[in-house]
Structure 1
């Protein structure tokens, strides 16, 4: 009888909060945080983490394909409810007990008033909270719950909060570096440095794409992950299922892997998608990777001129050139001599092979873009470089300026950095910024971490358009 009186009092209280036909129509705003525990009693109901996640969970591909329900919350005790009444839940997952970041977990209730989901849905929730890396992750669950009796649902005023539960999501192993090996380098696993695939420098599980541009790769090849390169071992070297496969796309495998084959001469772009373990080959043929910039700044010598780089093999070139004096004249050449096309001013930002000299009206370092994919055009922006980020004294609001030395061709600054992150950016704006790997900086790439506070000398070298790089030296 006491249980019935308690339940009646609880129901009268919550009827002021919610009564509706649809369980999900009205969800009360929960408090910001709750005490975490393995079992929790709320409004006379007792709950615990489900038996399927009470121990550490490590998902497999087979788990994700299974329809077997996974119990994530179990109801261990309830007040006496009307015959036929059930509990319904709306469940959120978070990576912290404060529930600052939440993702709804698709779920439903079973006949025992337990919350069930699928391995696939739980796997996706963990990846949404933490990313795709296959590491053990702690998740916390917060469930708003209702008593449903016929067409009436009554929201209980306090949610249940449980956790943490440890879940390891399914994802392939993705290493941070990959290398090409094959006829092009005599199958020498100790000679791979010149055949490294490019990558953005981001988390490999967020950006699993690796690319390499190689000339005259004609012949057989395989893929070497960093771990195999470091060990100088053939164990772990990857290929495809068919020896000598000339298909331009296919699957990457490790066990019993066979070599792929390129039959065409010239430049080739090979792309790896390591999340899907697939490869693709783009036959490009003959095309200049660099465009040279001779002019009054270096004695009109194409042989020693700075260059712009065609980094995406799309006939679009960019890079940085320093002009030491106002009104410096220059041109673009496709060869290290004057034998090939020499592009000059075609008017209104266009280029012409019979045009006059181009002009940099002010001294300084310019970012130059040239597009030869259609009617030739160019643009150039004078740049002044600095540091930006929460590791710098100016935070994310104000750049710390750097100084350019024409003798060393370096931008440098000595400054205090705290722990945090920073990037290089030009002209106190975000149109031109560099980040990612400090030894191979990319436009718009990730922030650069600083793990120790102190005074640092930082440099930025833009002299090689094929590879922008910096240095960070603690003093």
Structure 2
């Protein structure tokens, strides 16, 4: 319970004093309020209000108190003792989020009351800034004050309340925040952009009065300066009727201001549109609609970034060997870059920069590198150029993990460092295997986060003819890694991964694939395997074509009927080549390895049925049974 004050006024004093002696009525707050000797059973407070409309109350010419309850006593107060009251309010019945207001007690009417302005401030500053009508929960706390200074709460502290009630409550609308805002103009036609509202600010899922921050990143104009304004749905609709005055502009008229106040054009008396001079590819705008402030940032993303320090040296030559990985998308469309490095086992310090910053290091200038805005050992946060940070502000990891993945978003200017201790297996889960009900493992041979496995991408009624799957870190749940698509380049079947329960499914064309997943840099590659053959001396000594197999989507295996001409050896061959990427499986029936030079011995001859489960290294096997 948050206290606004615990100062007691003397307005109730004369009603409750047992004698008329003069004494100080100043209330002195105490760290711990003891329980009063005056019994709670001797006090009755009758609730007096069922609804409170602050809009109406504050519009009155003279502010009048709100009566919360009427007091009656069944026993006489001790000598030189008066009653004081506070009112506690909350937006939920449990009072889990509450605040207290000093009550104005009216001696002549025996009433506990609060001033509308005090209630308004308490609600706005401590409960919520949302002006929506709601239910407000109210209760009173009563104290005795003896000899003007000795304070005690009536009843057990935290247990006894009076006049508990719920009221229909309409707060003041101190700040008007719309649910959505849009860029009008910018790279688009002004009237058209207002009509289609194509550039919308993003916002969290929180109430706009709890989180008043709105952000947007949009393309700069293709030529010249970028001019724009900001509007909500009402402003955009008004433009359709020829009224442009409801848009927001810059207070003060400096259109190129990067930070400042904004307000409606009709209040400013002019357009006062925003302007970003020609140069950047993207523009980022951040609004605080509770404060009516803005920030405009030009966004430029380089084609490449490099780590300096860390596992390498603090020089330009070393940095240029440690380039961040990036998807095949344009860097403005996808501004996320990743670099994964192996730990040294002890503290590692590093920074990063674009080619310009690294070249500057080679020339003896270090302040163009990027550093953290927070503590060097923070695993996430925001960053900026060193010349804006007044110091090095290098990043640091403790070296306890085997690897570290360093991810930067060059539009949002944020970073995340993920300690990595890669497990031996991850698992494919998709339509093909009931989303993981049957294990489809991928194997990491060297602990560096690169996994390989084989599986069939199967379509479903909702996938529009595409296969659908994801990867996860556990065989039977999504809690230890939920790796879905960030991107998928259908031309070469490569893409980036996101570890997030909201990440999308990977959806290539249906078919059987070899999957190479790199959790170090969160990338993957799919290799289609359209055909598999069983070849070898047992198959009439045919090492070229042998017998073509068919994939059984129910059994999750390749299978065929064959006639072995002898009890000899076989291998499995993908796509008709001996390329390991396409599948070149040898070893033994119970331990089949892709890329193995060893042939697989078979003891049967004659008519056989073969089932081949490629899966991954250490998990692949085959069965050969007589027909």
Any gaps of 5 or more consecutive residues in structure 1?
A: 1-10, 12-19, 31-40, 294-299, 312-316, 324-331, 354-361, 386-401, 418-423, 428-457
- Per the alignment, residue 58 of structure 2 pairs with 63
TM-score of the two chains, using structure 2 as the length reference? 0.42
The Cα of 1:274 is off from its aligned counterpart by 0.8
Picking from 461, 472, 475, the partner of 2:485 is 461
Distance 1:58 1:370, change over 3 A: closer
- Per the alignment, residue 138 of structure 2 pairs with 141
Pairwise mapping of residues 356-371 of structure 1 onto structure 2 (< 5 A)?
366-369=405-408
**Which shows bigger deviation, 78-87 or 407-416?**
407-416
Instruction: Give, in whole Å, the separation in 2 of the partners of 1:77 and 1:301.
Output: 75
- Per the alignment, residue 249 of structure 2 pairs with 240
SS of equivalent residue, structure 2 residue 58: helix
Pairwise mapping of residues 297-446 of structure 1 onto structure 2 (< 5 A)?
305=328, 318-320=336-338, 366-369=405-408, 381-382=419-420, 410-411=470-471
Pairwise mapping of residues 104-115 of structure 1 onto structure 2 (< 5 A)?
104-111=100-107, 112-115=109-112
Instruction: Give, in whole Å, the separation in 2 of the partners of 1:370 and 1:275.
Output: 27
Instruction: Give, in whole Å, the separation in 2 of the partners of 1:230 and 1:382.
Output: 51
CA RMSD in angstroms comes to 6.0
Instruction: Give, in whole Å, the separation in 2 of the partners of 1:148 and 1:370.
Output: 60
CA offset digits 1:118-152 (Å, max 9, x no partner)? 43432344346653222223232332313445446
SS of equivalent residue, structure 2 residue 229: strand
2:405–2:418 CA contact under 8 A, matched in 1? yes
The Cα of 1:103 is off from its aligned counterpart by 2.2
- Per the alignment, residue 285 of structure 2 pairs with 270
The Cα of 1:165 is off from its aligned counterpart by 1.9
Distance 1:147 1:305, change over 3 A: closer
The Cα of 1:303 is off from its aligned counterpart by 10
1:383–1:426 CA contact under 8 A, matched in 2? no
1:90–1:143 CA contact under 8 A, matched in 2? yes
Distance 1:142 1:219, change over 3 A: same
1:252–1:279 CA contact under 8 A, matched in 2? no
- Per the alignment, residue 287 of structure 1 pairs with 300
Larger Rg: 1 or 2?
2
Instruction: Give, in whole Å, the separation in 2 of the partners of 1:232 and 1:468.
Output: 42
Distance 1:64 1:245, change over 3 A: farther
CA offset digits 1:53-78 (Å, max 9, x no partner)? 53232448x93999935334232533
Number of paired residues? 356
Picking from 185, 189, 193, the partner of 1:186 is 189
CA offset digits 1:426-455 (Å, max 9, x no partner)? 77xxxxxxxxxxxxxxxxxxxxxxxxxxxx
SS of equivalent residue, structure 2 residue 214: strand
Picking from 162, 169, 189, the partner of 2:164 is 162
Distance 1:185 1:250, change over 3 A: same
Distance 1:64 1:277, change over 3 A: farther
TM-score of the two chains, using structure 1 as the length reference? 0.53
The Cα of 1:226 is off from its aligned counterpart by 4.7
Query: Which structure's relative contact order is higher, taking Cα pairs within 8 Å and 6+ residues apart?
Result: 1
